[in-house]
Amino acid sequence: MSLLITWIVLTLGLFVASKVLDGMTIKGGIGSHLLISALFGLLNLVLGGLLFHLIGIGTLGLGYLLAFITRLIVTALMLVLVDKLSRRLKIESFGTAFLAALIVSLVGTVAEWALAQT
pLDDT over 80 (residue 118): no
Burial 11-46 (b: 16+ CB within 10 A, else e): bbbbbebbeebeebebeeeeeebbbbbebbbebbee
Residues 6+ apart with CB under 8 A from 80: 91, 94, 97
> Higher model confidence: residue 55 or residue 1?
55
| Domain parsing of the chain, residue ranges | 2-113
Q: pTM of this prediction?
A: 0.93
User: What contacts 117, CB < 8 A, 6 or more positions away?
Assistant: none
Residue 89 neighbours by CB distance under 10 Å: 26
DSSP secondary structure code for residue 92 in this structure: -
Q: Report whether 92 contacts 1 (CB < 8 A).
A: no
Is the pLDDT at 106 greater than 80, yes or no?
Answer: yes
pLDDT band at 60 (very low <50, low <70, confident <90, very high): very high
Q: Are 103 and 17 in contact (CB under 8 A)?
A: yes
pLDDT in tens, 1-48: 789 999 999 999 999 999 999 999 999 999 999 999 999 999 999 999
SS3 89: strand
